[in-house]
Amino acid sequence: MKRSSSGTRTPKPAVFVLGFLFILVGIFGILYNPSNSLTETLTWKVSEAGILSFSEREGSVFTIQKIEDLYSPENPDTLKLISFESRGDKVQALLRVPANASSSSPGVILLPGAGVSKEGEQGLAVELSKMGYATLTLDQRNQGSINVERDLELFRADLEPVEYLMVYDVLKAADVLASQPEIDPERLAVLGESNGGKFAIIACALDPSLKGVIGISTSGYGTEEIDPASVTDSEAYRFYLSIDPDTYLNALPPSKFVMIHSFNDTIISHELALRTFAIAEEPKAMYNTTEETHGYTASMRPYLEKELALILS
């Protein structure tokens, strides 16, 4: 079922919004201690409006190795293990290329939900391959889990929060995917589930070369609904804005924003997803399913196939 893009917005109290933010921390938070002794020359900054930005990215450095497809051996796809450099670290990813792919194949950066590895996301990668899309599936830092309180401490100390590193990893992944000989660098999109959807939205807003973003079972935090006049800790408020996908929605166009969400999602309520969708600008689309679960389901496939065809045509 498709919801029209003229959905009404339901304001939520600030206390509820921040409460939801810290619930997510409780669900997904795993303490991560970055070294911050990074070798790649890069600066990052956050504007007064809470917008994250990076200096120009350096060229991609990566290794690539063809491997056996243990996850879908019956398919004739080509599977490659890629290790690429990002902010002084090595990020591992699986590149799945459909059989008979040419240099004009569209590509999708695939971001799993928290706790899910690149291997665990190959079921969806295979579905996308059947639709004709190559995928680069990342092992996100902390497997997509976040620790907002720890990142706020880093931010206050002028050290790079892990969530910023995770956004930058997606941008580097786009560079790596675009450089592959089977891929059309002009036809790239990003797709994320749950926490992966949050990073997908921010990365797409920061990289205009991406044609669109699809978020499955995800939402923003609603930080923009807090009255700035009521804020007593301006630095914390600016940090929360910088990690909230809702902050970046007006920077997405002309890239398309698509949400797919279950009315009965067991982790992120449909109401929260609807709020994020309501404040997004056109072009956008939202589709709803009914399963009592969280993440991609087979009933979402027709919507996913339709929207990817529109985004990457």
| The Cα angle at residue 245 between residues 240 and 246, in degrees rounded to 5 | 90
15 has a pLDDT exceeding 80:
no
User: 114: pLDDT confidence band, cut at 50, 70 and 90?
Assistant: very high
Question: What is the SS3 assignment for 248?
Answer: helix
| In contact, 276 and 249? CB cutoff 8 Å | yes
Spatial CB neighbours of 235, under 8 Å, sequence gap ≥ 6? 155, 156
pLDDT digits (tens, 9 = 90+) for 222-276: 998 999 999 999 999 999 999 999 999 999 999 999 999 999 999 999 999 999 9
pLDDT digits (tens, 9 = 90+) for 168-220: 999 999 999 999 999 999 999 999 999 999 999 999 999 999 999 999 999 99
pLDDT of residue 224: 86
| In contact, 294 and 287? CB cutoff 8 Å | no
pLDDT digits (tens, 9 = 90+) for 135-158: 999 999 999 999 999 999 999 999
pLDDT of residue 42: 59
Q: In what order do the strands lie in the sheet with 89-97?
A: 2-3, 284-289, 256-262, 212-216, 183-193, 105-111, 134-138, 89-97, 78-86, 62-67
Spatial CB neighbours of 230, under 8 Å, sequence gap ≥ 6? 14
Write down the pTM of the prediction: 0.87
Rounded to whole angstroms, how far apart are CA atoms 211 and 256?
7
Rounded to whole angstroms, how far apart are CA atoms 53 and 183?
27
pLDDT of residue 18: 46
Q: What CA–CA distances, in Å, run from 23 to 29, 146, 152?
A: 9, 11, 16
Q: Which domains, from first to last, does the chain contain?
A: 2-311 (3.40.50.1820)
pLDDT digits (tens, 9 = 90+) for 52-104: 999 999 899 999 999 999 999 999 999 999 999 999 999 999 999 999 877 78
The region, left, alpha or beta by phi > 0 then psi within -120 to 50, assigned to residue 132 is left
| In contact, 144 and 195? CB cutoff 8 Å | yes
